[in-house]
Amino acid sequence: MNAEIMTENQRNIVVKRHPQLALRFVAFAYHNRLIKKLLVRSTGLLEWRFPMEYVSSDESIHAGLHRMVFEITGITDFYFSQMGFSEQAFNREEVVNDLSDVGDFVCIDYYILLRRAPGLTNHSVIDSRWYTIDEQLQLNFVEDKQLLKRAQATLKRGLNHEPIGYYLLDRRFTLPDMHSLYEQLLDKKLNRGNFSRKMLGLAILNKLGVVRSGGAHKSPDLYEYDKNRYFAALETGLVKAF
């Protein structure tokens, strides 16, 4: 089954046909001008993987996703979007957390956006850690590498129509913070002056009248998103020239 968006009717059919329904997510955070990804591993195992668990029979899909994120990060407020679903088959040695039964199951994939890289909670079953987006040595399984590639491509495609900057940047940020985020999401260099003029020309930012102090160079101005204008601009697409 190819990755695709699962409708509510499809979810109901899948739950009936596949009692083993799993959720998997790629969580991104932006900290110190670096995009980071969240990886976990079962206690006693060496392999780092993306979080994945079965959905309990007494919880909805979204409730299961929120439970998973909260158990690892302690965060309840985050942005998520479904990337698709697929049939999976894992060997016992490859599993993460409670996916310990050999056999096929349906897995729904999400990407998740978190402000900063929150401290991770202790969990009796798993270890968890933030790695930069470019660190690839921790991913030993092809399906995890493919999932990360798909998540990055989804972010890149959705940058002009999804509130990605809003949920990754701090509530107060500088234009250099924003510039660095866009360069990493698009995986290319952007002229800083042109980028700043383009973003300010969209009229989606409020200049706060204060600067970020403590740097060795000129202290940059702090901005925040004008939420109403920003989300309105996403309806038609932010910037299509990058």
Does residue 3 have a pLDDT over 50?
Answer: no
Domain boundaries along the sequence of the chain: 8-144, 164-236
The predicted structure's pLDDT at residue 100: 45
Give residues with Cβ within 8 angstroms of 70, minimum separation 6: 76
Q: Which fold has domain 164-236?
A: Arc Repressor Mutant, subunit A (1.10.10)
- At 25 the pLDDT is 96
CB atoms within 10 A of CB 18: 14
- Beta-ladder partners of 40: 49, 128
What is the C-alpha separation between 223 and 240, in angstroms, rounded?
A: 22
Q: What's the chain's average pLDDT?
A: 81
- pLDDT tens column, 82-141: 998 776 654 434 444 444 444 567 889 999 999 877 676 655 557 888 999 887 667 888
Lowest mean pLDDT among 6-20, 74-88, 103-117, 210-224: 6-20
Domains 8-144 and 164-236 share a fold: no
The answer on pLDDT for 4 being more than 60 is no
In CATH terms, the superfamily for domain 8-144 is Nucleoside Triphosphate Pyrophosphohydrolase (3.90.79.10)
**Residue 195 scores a pLDDT above 50:** yes
Q: What letter would DSSP give residue 170? A: -
